[in-house]
Homo-oligomer: A and B are copies of this chain.
Amino acid sequence: MSSTEFGVRPGEVTVELPDTFDAGLCFIGRIHTPWSNRDDCPKNPRESQAECSIEVDQRWAGALKDVESCSHLAVLYWMHRAPRNLVVQVPHHYGVQRGTFALRSPARPNPIALSVVRLLHIDANLLTVIGLDCLDGTPLLDLKPYFASTDSAPEAVVGWREQHKG
């Protein structure tokens, strides 16, 4: 990772990371996208209508049973190139301090990203989806059925973002 890619900007605050981990993750597949540089990635998952693919390792392919009946999925993946020690960040495109938990930045104590995608089709262990914005080769952690009844909150407001717009 180059220091220019994830350098600490003025106003950003870091903490000492814990000495040990509490749990372990296994990568269960890879995400294939058209973007191999961070600068090329869409700024958010709905900015692009690009079809991306999710390749699930053979070991876990059996777990895809019934997934084809889902119109949308929650995809969890690992932002393997992000720093984990930032508590306050100054996002490039906003230029002001924001707490890490108020941001979707990949830089966070556990760099797990969440994207809601539309499932187009599944061919064996390969899913074609719309709605990802990550780098090509990103490690996959989990796929979940998206339930509108519990996962959809169209009334949700992110106040700092609204103020930024207004």
How many chain A residues touch B (CB < 8 A): the figure is: 79
Beyond A109-B26, A148-B155, is A160–B15 a contact (Cβ under 8 Å)? Answer: no
Bound: A163/B154 CA distance, A: 25
**Cβ of B150 and Cβ of A152 under 8 Å apart?**
no
Which one of A1-9, A33-41, A73-81 is at the B interface? A73-81
**Cβ of A153 and Cβ of B156 under 8 Å apart?**
no
How many monomers of this protein are in the complex?
A: 2
What B residues does A13 contact at CB under 8 A?
A: 62
A66 at the interface (CB under 8 A from B): yes
B-binding residues in A (CB < 8 A): 13, 15-18, 21-28, 44-46, 56, 59-60, 62-74, 76, 78, 80, 84, 86-88, 97-104, 108-110, 112, 114-116, 118, 131, 139, 141-161, 163
